[in-house]
A = this chain, B = another copy of it.
């Protein structure tokens, strides 16, 4: 039994693509970058500027928050709530200023760090239906949240460039 436990531990550490802890750090690294992109926008442009009929960056950011906050609970527990059902979690649920948006962002950062250790490792390979709509293995739902943030944040980079503002380095995640 002792040998088995050691093998299992070793398997977890070296025979996986990425560990759960590394994935959390990877996501939070992306979220730190997104936070810097929010900061880089002039206050008014954050809420109004767009190209080609797309959404202002603040609306994209609220989408990230609206997926992450209930999403991490759904991943941990299998209970999928809508962003509206979680509104009472914050007195600052619909931020109208950059400062309020950043404060909301930081609440979600803490929320994720708090919930993450509660996710049983086997959850990621289970199938679930996120928000009662999107069916698939939980790892793909998790990956979707990160990818969606990278995708739209890249669009925020174009907004910034077209405003003559240099965006943060993509590779800087601290």
Contacts and interface: CB of A to CB of B under 8 A. Distances in A.
Interface of A: 3-4, 7-8, 11-20, 22-23, 26, 30, 51-54, 121-122, 124-125, 137, 139-140, 142-144, 147-148, 150-155, 157-164, 170-171
Most B Cβ at <10 Å: residue of A15, A26, A121, A159:
A15
A19 B3 CA distance: 24
Contacts of A158: 51-52, 54, 155, 158-159
Contact of A154 (B11, B12, B152): B152
A51 B51 CA distance: 10
Q: Is the interface of A mostly helix, strand, loop or mixed?
A: helix
A113 B144 CA distance: 22
A16 B23 CA distance: 11
Contact of A17 (B7, B23, B155): B23
B17 A161 contact: no
A73 to B, nearest CB: 18
A13 B54 contact: no
